[in-house]
Amino acid sequence: MQHPSPSSAPILPSKNAHLFTVDVEEHFQVSSFENHVPRSSWDGQPSRVARNVEVLLDLLARHDAKGTFFTLGWVAAKHPGIVRRIADAGHEVASHGWWHTRVTMTTPDAFREDVHSSKRLLEDQCGQPVIGYRAPSFSIVPGREWALDTLIEEGYRYDSSLFPIHRSGYGYPGAPAIPHVIRRPPGTLYELPPATTVVAGVRIPAAGGGYLRQFPFALIRRAFREHGARGIPGMFYIHPWEVDPRQPRIAVPLLTRVRHYRGLGRSLPAMERLLREFRFTSVAERFARFADPAVATAWPFAPV
């Protein structure tokens, strides 16, 4: 493993740190597998998540970085030690829901139960308020804004589910590409979108592990430099299974297989580079839990 050298010190002061986030789920719980790995079989699948979270905790520790871990309630219930490990290492625990059900595939009542039960369990385990949420597959899409109301009513302070791009199945193309405040009838919610950049006039994602594995590193670097130059945190996200080239292969259609398994060996070296070049921290640390009004107004939040 490489360690950061003085010449590769972070180029940004910590107050301008970017956001490192992890969606904590098993390798068989991704949305593209949902028709191939039914929930009823989850208990019988080999578990890899604890080992893979350790890889990410080690990576962050070596770079003196912090992160936000959006954790599935299902994972927390089955492996309570994971949430405690994350919290003890100084990272933020947030919610990725309980069942990894996309908001496009659920009902308002089931969604409320999902975000309520996961928040409660995660708070019990980590001993801190859980104030952040990210929907599976960024599935708060136009028409599903009621989910934002539910999050506010259930005590969440920020969301990271609106991906300001156009994609089939997800994406909220009209949403601002920078952190902003969403004002809804029950209150307000801070929205923190994943980093994007514009190429040939088209806004493209530049923040996730899949893009880190499949896009040129220069494009990812450009996106984070653009954010840094504007004083805006760029949000990176990764899944534990993306640092696990030896995970069991699941029989899925070719395109899904390619998307899921291609380039898994490239994730860690690319993240080493990213963490050497840019400073990363958790949402809670960057925004001081949104408790200080001076902090909130210092950022380029803008109403939708």
Both tokens of 138, joined, read 């960024």
23 contributes a contact to Zn ion by CB under 5 A: yes
Q: Which is nearer to Zn ion, 134 or 279 (CB)?
A: 134
* Residues 113-152 within binding reach of Zn ion (CB under 5 A): 136
Shortest separation between residue 298's beta carbon and Zn ion, angstroms: 31
Q: Which helix (H) or strand (E) holds 125?
A: helix 108-126
Shortest separation between residue 73's beta carbon and Zn ion, angstroms: 12
Shortest separation between residue 201's beta carbon and Zn ion, angstroms: 30
Strands (DSSP E) found in 43-174 = 68-71, 92-95, 132-133, 158-159
Q: Which is nearer to Zn ion, 23 or 159 (CB)?
A: 23
The piece of 20-28, 41-49, 106-114, 204-212 that touches Zn ion (CB under 5 A) is 20-28
Q: Which helix (H) or strand (E) holds 41?
A: none
Q: Which is nearer to Zn ion, 26 or 277 (CB)?
A: 26
Q: Which is nearer to Zn ion, 25 or 191 (CB)?
A: 25
* Angstrom distance (rounded) from CA 118 to CA 97: 6
The piece of 17-25, 122-130, 167-175, 191-199 that touches Zn ion (CB under 5 A) is 17-25
First to last CA, the chain: 43
HSE-CB at 71 with a 13 A cutoff on CA atoms is 36
The piece of 16-24, 58-66, 216-224, 258-266 that touches Zn ion (CB under 5 A) is 16-24
Query: Considering CB under 5 A, how many residues would be counted as binding Zn ion?
Result: 3
208 contributes a contact to Zn ion by CB under 5 A: no
HSE-CB at 119 with a 13 A cutoff on CA atoms is 22
Tally: H helices and E strands in the chain: 11, 11
Q: Which is nearer to Zn ion, 74 or 287 (CB)?
A: 74
Q: Which is nearer to Zn ion, 158 or 278 (CB)?
A: 158
Shortest separation between residue 94's beta carbon and Zn ion, angstroms: 12
In angstroms, what CA-CA distances link 221 with 137, 188, 242, 246, 248? 23, 32, 19, 27, 31
Which residue has the closest beta carbon to Zn ion? 23
Shortest separation between residue 202's beta carbon and Zn ion, angstroms: 25
| Distance, C-alpha 302 to centroid of its chain | 22
Interface with Zn ion (CB under 5 A)? 23, 25, 136
